[in-house]
């Protein structure tokens, strides 16, 4: 799946991994987010914290008739209000992706895979 755009100068093709890396970079800058987590929780119920080059492992991008749907898997900091962190992260990811890709973002689903102490 790629995001395709046609301009006067030619075609632009943005891969799913590029969209996932952009979304991962944006959400990790949000207050209260420790980092990206893997989609698959390890067998002990512990989520793996992903490094910057592996953000796409914590993001699922789907293209629908209405636009793009993004699923993000994160780890939040201990002591923050999770609902506020997730709400603000959804708004920021939606805004940045719509401005960057000129594509409608239908859903930004955030799954909190774990809570970790800040520090």
pLDDT digits (tens, 9 = 90+) for 3-17: 788 888 999 888 888
Kindly give, in sequence order, each residue whose CB lies less than 8 Å from that of residue 54, ignoring residues fewer than 6 positions away. 36
Query: How far is residue 23's CA from residue 9's CA, in Å, rounded to a whole number?
Result: 27
**How does residue 119 score in pLDDT terms, banded at 50, 70 and 90?**
low
Kindly give, in sequence order, each residue whose CB lies less than 8 Å from that of residue 66, ignoring residues fewer than 6 positions away. 104, 106
Query: How far is residue 12's CA from residue 3's CA, in Å, rounded to a whole number?
Result: 8
2-116 belongs to CATH 3.30.70.1350: yes
Domain boundaries, the chain: 2-116
Query: In this structure, what token pair is assigned to residue 13?
Result: 């093709």
In this prediction the pTM is 0.84
pLDDT digits (tens, 9 = 90+) for 90-115: 999 999 999 998 889 999 999 998 88
**How does residue 44 score in pLDDT terms, banded at 50, 70 and 90?**
low
């Amino acid at each position: 799946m790629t995001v395709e755009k046609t301009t006067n100068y030619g075609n632009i093709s943005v891969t799913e991994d590029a969209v996932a890396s952009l979304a991962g970079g944006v959400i990790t800058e949000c207050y209260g987010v420790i980092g990206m987590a893997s989609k698959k929780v390890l067998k002990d119920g512990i989520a793996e914290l992903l490094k910057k080059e592996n953000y796409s492992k914590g993001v699922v991008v789907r293209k629908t008739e209405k636009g793009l749907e993004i699923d993000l898997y994160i780890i939040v900091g201990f002591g923050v209000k999770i609902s506020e962190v997730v709400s603000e992260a959804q708004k920021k990811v939606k805004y940045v992706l719509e401005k960057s890709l000129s594509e409608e973002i239908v859903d930004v689903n955030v799954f909190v895979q774990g809570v970790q102490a800040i520090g």
